[in-house]
Amino acid sequence: NFDGTPLSTGKLPSTEAKMHIAIYKSRPKVQSVIHTHSTFATMLSIVRKSIPIIMEEMYIFLGGSVNVSEFGEAHTIEIGEVALNALSIKNAALLANHGVIVCGKSLDHAIKFAELVEKLAKMYWGALQIGEPKIISKEHLERFQKLFDSLFSNYPRSMRQKS
């Protein structure tokens, strides 16, 4: 439950339960939280490098760039606080030296967002190897949002929009 008390016998809550609970309590629309240690996103979290908006889908599904949190000690309330600060109103953040946190309106959305963050981290890491990645302009993103809204009304969206 939201106090970290196991609801069934013989099973302990996740060691990161406090982080999950903090997100659920602060973000009422969130129905699923996933924390991973996916390779490329975790590499970026280790060097504390946010993922800027390099693909339109980041704006649509994640709410924008993927920020890196301050360092928060694992298994403490602190990591929940730094995760919330990095997430803000977005659906994904990198946890400094710790991996990724994503949230969604459903488990399916959260899974898609976790997969998207890893794909974007891999593309960003690769782009950094050959040059300076170009960031998409806010004007283009706003135009793309309108087009997307008109074409795909049932597709999962960032929770920064009204739902």
Across 92-96, 116-120, 159-163, least confident range: 159-163
Concatenating the DSSP letter of every residue in 92-133 gives EEEETTTEEEEEESSHHHHHHHHHHHHHHHHHHHHHHHHS-P
* Exposed e or buried b per residue across 38-71, where buried means at least 16 C-beta atoms within 10 angstroms of its C-beta: bebbbebbeeebebbbbbbebbbbbbbbbbbbee
Amino acid 149: pLDDT = 80
Instruction: Enumerate helices (H) and strands (E) in the chain, giving the number of each.
Output: 6, 4
Amino acid 160: pLDDT = 47
**Can you list the domains of the chain with their CATH numbers?**
17-151 (3.40.225.10)
pLDDT band at 3 (very low <50, low <70, confident <90, very high): low
Determine which helix (DSSP H) or strand (DSSP E) holds 161, and give its type and residue range. Answer: none
Amino acid 156: pLDDT = 60
3-state secondary structure of 68: strand
Amino acid 85: pLDDT = 95
In Å, how far from its chain's centre is CA 129? 24
Please, are residues 35 and 92 in contact by the beta-carbon 8 Å criterion? no
Amino acid 163: pLDDT = 30
Residue-wise pLDDT tens digits, 47-96: 999 999 999 999 989 999 999 999 998 888 899 999 999 999 999 999 99
Specify whether 16 is catalytic.
Answer: yes
- Catalytic one of 16, 81, 115, 132: 16
